[in-house]
Amino acid sequence: MPSNTSGFKDVPIEVTISVGTARPTVKELLSLDENAILTLDRRISDPVELYIGDKLIARGELQEADDETGQLAVRLTEVSGLSGAAE
């Protein structure tokens, strides 16, 4: 029976971009209100990580999208071996 996976190539997949982690205490978390700031464990210049589910698929740099002012984008700098996964 032939395998026809080409139809799956047009199915959208949600990619999560991780820019860092905050580790507040429960007390700090409960006291948060509007305009509170959570400090992350990364710097602005550090790479972000791209995940599908819990699988790391790439790393990149945050930047402003070329076509829309204020819209965020990610320029990929490192991609895991995904080619052939849906071939």
Interval 15-52: pLDDT, tens: 999 999 999 999 999 999 999 999 999 998 999 999 99
Please report the pLDDT score of residue 6 as a whole number.
72
pLDDT tops 60 at residue 7? yes
Please report the pLDDT score of residue 87 as a whole number.
42
Please report the pLDDT score of residue 86 as a whole number.
45
Contact 56, 87 (CB under 8 A): no
Start-end of H helices in 1-87: 26-30
d(CA 19, CA 49): 7
Please report the pLDDT score of residue 79 as a whole number.
96
